[in-house]
Structure 1
Amino acid sequence: MGTTSVTAVTTAFSTARVPFQDRLPLWEDYNKRSLIGLSCRTLASDGLVAAQRNLRMPRLRFTEIQGNDHVVERSQVDIRNVPAETLPLCLLLEGNAFYYHSGGCETFSAGDAILYDADRPFIYGFSTNMRQVILEVPRSLYPERTGQSGLTAPLVLRAGPGAPFTEYARAAVTTIRHALQAPPENPQAMEDACLDLFELITGNHPSSLTGGYMLSAREYIRNHLREADLSASRIAHDIGISERHLGRVFAAEDTTVGKEILATRLRRAAEMLADPKLQSASVGAIAASAGFASAAHFSRSFKQAFGCTPREARGA
């Protein structure tokens, strides 16, 4: 099934209702048309149970895949038959994985990522249930974005406490998953920002990457909204730039870090007030959950932003 806009096309496929004997061949056929040519195997007793959603835009392709334990292999024959025009950056969200290639075998787990050249033979396997999102970047853009002529070996990127990579990866995952659910009518700005994130994730940090830093900062704010010590200095430190540089990033969009934090807290509070499941929660509890230290400050800010008090909003 596909959805088409002027510049973006989404497709999706699942083996859930496919007869057991047809699951692997149909999965391979769909991958050949939507990603790359490969073969797939599984030892699971119920066969391959997997689903994916894809978004193709003018420059980038986004994919989300979830499934049970399985292995995919890309051989020299696959490469000759269907050469890859892109380099996939796979961000593993759930499970454990290995990547076997001519230079050895890489292992990684949820939170980590791998960038590889799909025109070199490989076996990519998952020993558990898995979920990953993939950002595919055109091969022609790789030298421009990294300063390297090509990708000679797979690059494994590992998450860790305090590692800016973790924040960049979270921002990329959120952006990709949102775009897969609601494709942008004009994807140029999103593609630009995701190319910035690609550079940041793979270790390139030029000061010009405002789009990538903005996405990372906004994702950081959403993830830490309830914390009283959320501040510009903390955000800047954890996404790997100076506080002054962070200020310039927000100034480029005619706002400040403080205004962004307040606006995000107010949106979160408004969503909670409208949630039927939270009707028994007090306004003060909702204010605290959205990160407001003072109920009075919350009420004043809410009325200034929305033209009514929190209680009036809940009644409406």
Structure 2
Amino acid sequence: MDQSQGGGPRTGLLSFSTARIPASHRIEHWEAHNAKALIGLDIRTLEDRPLVAQEINLYFPALRFATVKGSSQIVERSERLIAAHPTGDVAIFFALGGEAFFYHSTGMITLKAGQAVLYDADLPFVRGFSYGVRELVLTIPHQEYFRLSHGRPLKEPVVFEFAPGPGTPGPDPAATSLAAFIDSALRRPEQDLCSVEQDAFALIEQLVTRAVGTDRESAYRRAVKEIEHRFAEASLDREQVAAAAGVSERQLARLFAARGQSFAEHLLARRLQAAEAWLASDPDASIAEIARRCGFTSPSHFTRRFKERTGVTPSELQRAASMQADIEWSRLSI
């Protein structure tokens, strides 16, 4: 295996496991391995049990692939650590299982299995894996990323789907292909590495081009879809929708503001739209019941907001709908 000056392989395979390391020294060895082989991190466990971790790294002239497995842990890349161990890379983390939180400079997102996040590894972040970590990782040198993104910097994380999951708009084909490609390459490292890297770059270019060009649009669609599914929940708030969309709350606010509407205004409009349909189709239902069905906790607040939108009260619309139904029925009876 070819070795670089820093001690890591220039090309080829490297593997690490805590299995034979005394429990009291596992974290320091895990940190040392990641600093050398992938991304320097401060690591701490969430439980009293010893850390269990395994990593396989595959090196190319420019790219690096890794598969990571481990018990519950929190990993942090602070400004201090970045200054000591800069990577010069952008990273993509593909979550294969569990759930993880991802704190970054502008907010927090939650990643579920089947989701991936694209982020600059030399910007501060904290990641937490309460049920353990199982993921694929890809790192791309900054200069290569800038080439693929046509010079656009990556200031905030971009989240996308690479596998089907509940409540997701569907996987990105390029992301799906890239995740499968990384997994296959790690399982068959004897392949022509130059050829593998070229093929990987083709997939990365597709993904990055789409990510920097339409990530806001896809995040907005995810947010709207989450509202559509859950507007009847009175507890639905901006934090929950932002997490489902894979953006921070600040980013979510900007997504709606770009369309001339705040998040609260969009949610209210969807609830009132649903209420109007309920009032017209179920004239016998109580106003309180319809308010509850549409996510309002107070019938009086619902009535006030409804009149502001339509110019009539819910009761007035309900009576009008009932009268119209009686007229239609009488016509059918003649």
TM-score with structure 2 setting the length: 0.56
**Which of 17, 20, 44 in structure 2 is aligned with 1:17?**
20
The alpha carbon displacement at 1:186 in A equals: 2.9
Q: CA deviation at 1:171?
A: 2.3
Taking the aligned partners of 2:63 and 2:160, their CA distance within structure 1 comes to 20
CA contact (8 A) 1:115 1:155 kept: yes
Secondary structure in 1 matching 2:100: strand
CA distance in 2 between partners of 1:129 and 1:123 (Å):
15
RMSD: 2.2
Q: Any conservation in 2 of the 1:157–1:202 contact (CA below 8 Å)?
A: no
Structure of higher CA gyration radius: 2
Percent identical residues: 35
Q: Does 1:189 align with 2:195?
A: yes
Q: 1:31 aligns with which of 22, 30, 34?
A: 34
**Which deviates further from its counterpart, 66-75 or 151-160?**
151-160
1:83 match: 86
Cα distance in 1 for partners of 2:86, 2:2 equals 25
Matched ranges for 1:118-133 at <5 A:
118-133=121-136
Q: Distance in 1 between matches of 2:183 and 2:48?
A: 30
Q: How far apart, in 2, do the equivalents of 1:13 and 1:35 lie?
A: 12
1:158 CA displacement: 3.0
Whole-Å separation in 2 of the counterparts to 1:46 and 1:18: 14
Partner of residue 103, structure 2:
100
- Measure the CA separation in 2 of the matches of 1:188 and 1:4: 14
Letter of the 1:35 counterpart? L
Q: Render the CA deviation track for 1:110-158: whole Å, top value 9, x for unaligned.
A: 0000011111111011121221001111110112212243111111113
In the alignment, the residues of structure 1 paired with residue 127 and residue 152 of structure 2 have an alpha-carbon distance, to the nearest angstrom, of 24
- Runs of 4+ in structure 1 displaced over 6 angstroms? none
Could you say what secondary structure the match of 1:143 adopts? helix
1:7 Cα deviation after fit: 6.9
Alpha-carbon contact 1:8-1:57 (below 8 Å) kept: yes
Deviation at 1:164, TM superposition (A): 4.9
Mark the CA change 1:107 to 1:4 in structure 2 (over 3 Å): closer, same or farther: same
* Deviation of 1:197 (Å): 1.6
Alignment check: 8 A CA contact 2:43 2:74 kept: yes
Matches within 5 A, 1:126-145: 126-145=129-148
Mapped to 2, the partners of 1:148 and 1:164 lie a distance apart of 26
1:163 is matched with which residue: 170, 184, 189? 170
Deviation at 1:45, TM superposition (A): 2.8
Label 1:63 to 1:30 Cα distance change in 2 as closer, same or farther (>3 A).
same
- Checking the alignment, whether the CA contact within 8 Å between 1:92 and 1:131 is kept in structure 2 is yes
Q: CA deviation at 1:95?
A: 1.1
Q: Secondary structure at the match of 1:116?
A: strand
- Given the two structures, how large is their TM-score scaled by the length of structure 1? 0.59
1:68 Cα deviation after fit: 1.3
Structure 2: state its 5+ residue gaps.
4-8, 212-334
Matched-pair contact (CA < 8 Å) for 2:148–2:208 = no
